[in-house]
Structure 1
């Protein structure tokens, strides 16, 4: 497998009430170029920490995180990061928010406009390009945040529960929107979620993590065709994989003691 993102025996700890909390304990994982991988697990299993290290926002205590075989040493334009919070500038329009990163990169005006309009079109916000965030629904704000990430043309999208605050219908609609955009652009996606159905519906592989300490419990292949549809979501095959992931998340055994 040609790995786009690699985690090599990654360990990350944090001080907690005079003790040490192990967020990640020897995590190794390879994500292929253009692969869509979701990560699911109980609270405290290190999902967001894993993504933050791929983004260059945190460093491992030991082990390595690599993108294209190069150790991650900080944030970079090759990786777009999307969080649950929309983080839009309220005084800027949709277009101005989307082109913000391109302005920072001193992209020429004509090219900046072309890439901004393309990204806005991909997420279906062309009719709202001149609207301020306060006039948008929650789902539209998140689509704006996704367009902003796409505009800088990253090779990797790192998404930390981007749909977690949305209502169920909007969440399903944005899942389909995201998969439609991914099928056109074919980025490598690492997507964190608490929702088992979402994890299965989006991904080609689901990484199930366990807590105390944070570690990979199982990696489950999702052998369902793209494009994903409502029929697939309601199929026995989807239900079987969903139940397998659910059982892996919520019926985990305690970690064995580490060797001295």
Structure 2
């Protein structure tokens, strides 16, 4: 184990995931090594089928690796944990509960008092800008508002890590940009560790301190690109020559990937 991995908040060490498919197998992840520091915002980008979501699901404890290890604070991941909040593209809100009650739901499982639940929920609802909709039901909310509610719910249980799987992928462009800014404001307030999966190059660069680029067949990391842009990220940053240069570097890494060794040898996964 390297010194970086020993000090990491999240450490992936030679992680492989192989699925049985018919009479053969499919190698979704082919030996991934990655260390994410405490408080770091990392985005993972790559073509469809490169194993981005599989990698996150293994970290979340929703799947198990075929080999290799994933550790959080040096402890192996062996299942889901409230210390790892997960946010998916689907909002997964309870339609019969208000915004407040959705955000309080995880807190009620922690045996927290009603007054404390209410205070904590209201704090995070305000943080994501939904105070005016605190008693609204999900059916009355826009897609962006539903996702903000899901983010508030994840934050409320006080996870040290947020795992986000294309949370803005189904939203229109303007809402997406707005939620990117909202997420960064929230992250800046407490600097939780974030692993954010996306297929959007602009989003990957705008949010992250580092962009992890993956390739497929098998899923693997081909490049890790440092994003040396100041926080807070603003429209000026997004329109800057430095952003354009980094965007081009990530774009080339994603869309100009050499064929995998397995394919050049005529192998199938």
Bucket of the pairwise TM-score, normalised by the shorter protein:
over 0.9
Is 1:118 paired with 2:123?
yes
Match of 2:33 among 25, 28, 34: 28
Is 1:248 paired with 2:253?
yes
Is 1:56 paired with 2:67?
no
Q: CA RMSD in A?
A: 1.2
Match of 2:97 among 89, 92, 101: 92
Shift of the alpha carbon at 1:110?
A: 1.8
Look up the match of 2:172.
167
Mapped to 1, the partners of 2:47 and 2:262 lie a distance apart of 20
Shift of the alpha carbon at 1:256?
A: 2.3
Is 1:146 paired with 2:151?
yes
Match of 1:10 among 6, 15, 22: 15
Deviations 1:127-147 (A, max 9, x none): 100000000000000000000
Mapped to 2, the partners of 1:203 and 1:81 lie a distance apart of 18
Mapped to 2, the partners of 1:177 and 1:247 lie a distance apart of 28
Match of 2:108 among 97, 103, 106: 103
SS in 2 for 1:99: helix
Mapped to 2, the partners of 1:28 and 1:107 lie a distance apart of 38
Look up the match of 1:77.
82
Mapped to 2, the partners of 1:224 and 1:255 lie a distance apart of 32
Residue segments in structure 2 that go unaligned for 5+ positions in a row: none
Mapped to 2, the partners of 1:57 and 1:115 lie a distance apart of 27
Look up the match of 1:37.
42
Q: TM-score, normalised by structure 1?
A: 0.98
Look up the match of 1:191.
196
Match of 2:225 among 220, 227, 236: 220
How many residue pairs end up in the alignment? 259
SS in 2 for 1:9: strand
Mapped to 1, the partners of 2:261 and 2:98 lie a distance apart of 52
Shift of the alpha carbon at 1:111?
A: 1.5
Mapped to 2, the partners of 1:81 and 1:185 lie a distance apart of 17
Mapped to 1, the partners of 2:261 and 2:179 lie a distance apart of 39
Shift of the alpha carbon at 1:257?
A: 4.6
Residue segments in structure 1 that go unaligned for 5+ positions in a row: none
Shift of the alpha carbon at 1:17?
A: 3.3
